[in-house]
Structure 1
């Protein structure tokens, strides 16, 4: 079935651009809000000395006995906050009520914090930028079992997705890359592949390795950090990754917008990114 896209002019500026949110990102009349519970996270085995907050969102009408798909969101509260840039819970409620996506359990996981001598320091980059299985192992072996103790979620990797932006986008793709048994669907918004230790590993890996069973949605911004530089170009690294995924035969979708390193465009895209990611 053919799709007609309504005409919309592109802005002349590529820097000072803010996208308006669509109706799926606002509370909708007649849509009951889902439930949100906060889980207590015991001391981590993978990241000792860290603490973090975790929330589980489920759309209205689900019982604890209903087995569902599961979607993990990095940067937890930032993605769940109904007044924030992404508004994940509101989006998930609206899409589930409209049967646009399968009703799912969504897990919003904050990055770790360390408290050394009374000084709190972020452990985000250490967890999110590393090219190894540690963060994926943490999610699958420590976080999701806490969720499974309360709710039934699918163990099928094609029924498990992960989303993140900036370094959280790195963590999302890396989690699925290392643990294809745990995640089969990925969303990255303005991923910071360029700042991964040792540089962006994906173009060369994708050119030379066997394809993995991952469906991937990427968003990039024309004026992301160092967009006009030969090295450490955040915009170009997203394009290079998307191109390598396409050449390697992955089911990939790339959306490029204007603006800089901001969560705004990704937040606006979240409803359609989820629709696409969970179709077929």
Structure 2
């Protein structure tokens, strides 16, 4: 069936583009979800760090009935109802409309060292290309969430989302632990700044296979655009091309503007619909 898209003029090619939010990014449901939180102190994966985790459960959903799960990196930044992504609002609206099954949203802050001069551990956790972050979510975060709400065991009912370095972490968690996560959303992923470079185009070209589904977003004027090295936009496109060549179930959306969470936030409702279609 052919779908007719309304005409939209092409934005000016600069960093100042801002996208307008759609109806699923503003409160509209009569059954808003509930948000609770807990703290993780000195986890095995990242000793000495502390972080907060918010758990957003869909309104009216029986907590004893196993639910699908969507993890969001950068915790509160993605949950904040007045922020750029508005994850809880989107989950409520999609569950209320029936466009996706009721999803338990798990919003995980990156770790900090409370008393350190440089407290942030975000890039250490998010830009690594190993299995430590995925293992941390699987063994130290999701079991705590399961104490609050029954979770589905099927990895095809578990997704993870992140932007910038959080996009690296989302992709890597599913790549390393497809037994836990098989749905991925990345917004403006920072593959370019992974310590040993972006490993995924090479691994995909070598035939490394994972049973994952990927929604990938890139911005035309992302960091380093037009450069040969450290080009965020190019690395996202090369990852998307490698996924396509390898026959992955994937979708790439390219926007204008720079390294901003705005367009990803606008896309989140449709990205979730596509992932769970």
Question: How far, CA to CA, are the matches of 1:23 and 1:56 in structure 2?
Answer: 23
**1:73-119 deviation per Cα after TM superposition (whole angstroms, max 9, x unaligned):** 000000000000000000110111000111111100000001245x4
d(CA) in 2 for partners of 1:150, 1:216: 28
Q: Is the 8 A contact 2:41 2:49 kept in 1?
A: no
Paired residue for 1:194? 192
Pairwise mapping of residues 1-280 of structure 1 onto structure 2 (< 5 A)?
1-28=1-28, 30-116=29-115, 119=117, 121-279=119-277
For normalisation by structure 1, the TM-score amounts to 0.97
Q: Structure 2-normalised TM-score?
A: 0.98
Provide the C-alpha distance between the structure 1 equivalents of 2:245 and 2:64, rounded to a whole number of angstroms: 42
Q: Distance in 2 between the 1:69 and 1:13 partners?
A: 39
* CA deviation after TM superposition for structure 1 residue 63, in Å: 1.6
Q: Distance in 2 between matches of 1:76 and 1:276?
A: 22
Provide the alpha-carbon RMSD of the alignment. 1.0
- In structure 2, distance between residues paired with 1:8 and 1:277: 25
CA distance in 1, matches of 2:130, 2:179: 15
Which range moved further: 176-185 or 148-157?
148-157
Displacement of 1:277 in angstroms is 0.8
* TM-superposition CA deviations, 1:144-163 (whole Å, max 9, x none): 00011121101111010000
State the alpha-carbon separation in 1 of the partners of residues 127 and 12 from structure 2: 33
SS of the aligned residue for 2:20 comes to coil
Unaligned runs of 5+ in 2: none
- 1:59 Cα shift? 1.1
What do residues 153-203 of structure 1 show as CA deviations (whole Å, max 9, x unaligned)? 011110100000000000000000010101000000000000000111011
Shift of 1:31: 2.6
Structure 1, unpaired ranges of 5+ = none
Contact 1:211–1:249, Cα closer than 8 Å, also in 2: no
